[in-house]
Amino acid sequence: MQRHDLLIVGAGPVGLALALFLKDSGLDVVLADARPRDAAAADPRTLALAHGSQLTLAKLGVWEGLATTPIKTIHISQQGSFGRSVLRAADYDIPALGHVVTAGALAGALRRKVDAAGIPVLDETEVTHLAPGTQDIVASLDGPRVATLSARLAACAEGGLSANDDDSVEHDYHQHALIAHVGAAGGHHDTAFERFTRSGPAALLPCGRGFAVVHVVPSGDADALLALGDNTYLDHLQGIFGHRVRLDGIVERLRYPLALRYRRTPVGHRTVWLGNAAQTMHPVAGQGFNLALRDVHDLADHLILSGGDPGDPALLSSYANGRGLDRLGTIRFTDGLVRLFSNDIAPLRHARGAGLFALDLCPPLRHFVAKRMLFGARAWP
C-alpha cells in the first residue's frame, strides 16, 4: 500500500492550490480526483477573485499569463429606490479591486504548475471511503491504478456537504442563480454592477469583452425565466440594470440552486475540509473561492511551520481556531446581505437605500466594506 504524508481529495482550483503551496515543504503529497485529466480545465464557471487572492496566486506563480478581466469599479444599487455606492480601485491605490476568471482557466494554470513540480495526481480515481486510524488515515480508491493508500492527513477539497452530516449547518434560500454571458454595447469599462432587487441580487461582472451574469431569483420563478427566449430574457435583464449599461446578446444560460451549508468545525481526526467541502455560500459579493483560498494559504503555513506530523490534532486545532474569525465572519456577512436585501418590506427597502447612500458619503464605512471584500474579515494579509 502506498504511504504519503498528505492526500488531497479533489484536483480543482482549491486542491491544486494547496498542493502547489506545499511543493517545497518536504511533505509527500498526492492528489486524487474522480474526473478525467482535463475536466477541471473545462469548467466554464466564473470566479471573482479579490485583490488578496490575486496576491496569493502571484506567490504561487500562476498569475502571470492567466486570462483575467480587472474590476476597477464596483457600482452597488437597489432597484426601485434611491441610494447607491461606488467602490473604486483608485481610492485604495491598487490597480484593481479584483479580477474575473473562469474556473477552468485557473484550474488549468494551477495543474500545469503542479505537473511541472512533479506532484502526482491520480486522475479518474474516486476516494470512496476514508478510515481514520491512530497514526494515519486509509483511503479506499476506485480507479485504474491504486486500490488503497494511506496518509497522515487527508484534505478534502472537492464536493459539497452532506445534509445528514451532524456537524453541518444548512439553510435553503429557496433561490436559484441564473448564470449567463452577455455582450456589453460600448464596453464594460472594467466596471462590475451589483443590483439588489425584490427577488434577489443580480450582478454583472466584466469578463472578456462582455459580462458574466449572476441573476438570483426565487426558486418558483427560475423555470419560467429560463424558458424565455434569449432576446426576451435579455430585455428582462436590461430592465433590472436600467440605463447604467447597455446589454447586447446572451449565451450559455444555466442555473443552480442556492443554499448555505457549512461545517461548524472544518477539521476532524486526521482530516481537514476545504472549499465547498467546508462551506458552500450564496454568490452575493463573490466570497466563496476567495475564502477557500485564504483557508488553503493558512493551512499550508501551519503545515510548513510545524515540520512534524501534518495530522497532529494540536496543529489542526490551531489552524481551525485561527481561521474562525475570517471563516465565520465571511459566512455571516454573506448570509446577512442575502437576508437583508432579498425581500420587499417597505421600511427595510427605504432603510437599505439610505444605507447605500450613507455608505457612499462616509469614506470610513465604505473602506470597511471594501477591506472585507478585498482581504476577508481579518483584512488579510
pLDDT digits (tens, 9 = 90+) for 114-162: 999 999 999 999 999 999 888 999 999 998 888 899 999 999 998 765 5
User: What does the pLDDT read at residue 159?
Assistant: 72
Provide, rounded to the nearest whole percent, the portion of the chain with pLDDT above 90. Answer: 63
CA atoms within 13 A on the CB side of 14: 29
Residue 118, judged by CB atoms within 10 A of its CB (0-12, 13-18, 19+), counts as exposed
Residue 190, judged by CB atoms within 10 A of its CB (0-12, 13-18, 19+), counts as middle
Tell me which of 73-77, 179-183, 375-379 is least confident: 375-379
111 contacts: CB under 8 Å, gap ≥ 6: 11, 16, 40, 41, 121
* Confidence band of 244 (pLDDT split at 50, 70, 90): confident
Query: Which residue do the cell numbers 427560475 mark?
Result: 222
User: What does the pLDDT read at residue 2?
Assistant: 87
pLDDT score of 331 more than 60: yes
Dihedral in degrees, nearest 10, Cα atoms 169, 174, 180, 185: -120
User: What does the pLDDT read at residue 353?
Assistant: 46
Model pTM above 0.85: yes
Mean pLDDT to the nearest integer, 60-72: 94
User: What does the pLDDT read at residue 6?
Assistant: 98
Q: How far apart are CA 251 and CA 227, in angstroms?
A: 14
pLDDT digits (tens, 9 = 90+) for 97-107: 899 999 999 99
Task: Tell me the three cell numbers of residue 222.
Answer: 427560475
Mean pLDDT to the nearest integer, 367-374: 54
- Beta strand segments in the chain, E: 2-9, 29-32, 46-50, 69-71, 73-78, 84-88, 98-102, 121-122, 126-132, 137-142, 148-156, 168-185, 191-196, 201-207, 210-218, 246-263, 267-268, 271-273, 279-280
pLDDT score of 75 more than 50: yes
Query: Which residue do the cell numbers 482557466 mark?
Result: 105
Mean pLDDT to the nearest integer, 309-324: 96
pLDDT score of 234 more than 90: yes
pLDDT score of 76 more than 50: yes
Q: How far apart are CA 205 and CA 203, in angstroms?
A: 6
* Confidence band of 84 (pLDDT split at 50, 70, 90): confident
3-state secondary structure of 191: strand
137 contacts: CB under 8 Å, gap ≥ 6: 7, 130, 131, 150, 151, 152, 153, 154, 269, 270, 271, 311
70 contacts: CB under 8 Å, gap ≥ 6: 89, 95, 96, 98, 99, 190, 206
Q: How far apart are CA 118 and CA 174, in angstroms?
A: 44
Q: What is the DSSP string of 156-170?
A: E-SS---TT-TTEEE
User: What does the pLDDT read at residue 158?
Assistant: 82
3-state secondary structure of 229: coil
Tell me which of 37-51, 166-180, 295-309, 342-356 is least confident: 342-356
User: What does the pLDDT read at residue 359?
Assistant: 44
Delineate the domains of the chain, giving CATH numbers in brackets.
Answer: 2-69+98-167+260-340 (3.50.50.60)
User: What does the pLDDT read at residue 136?
Assistant: 95
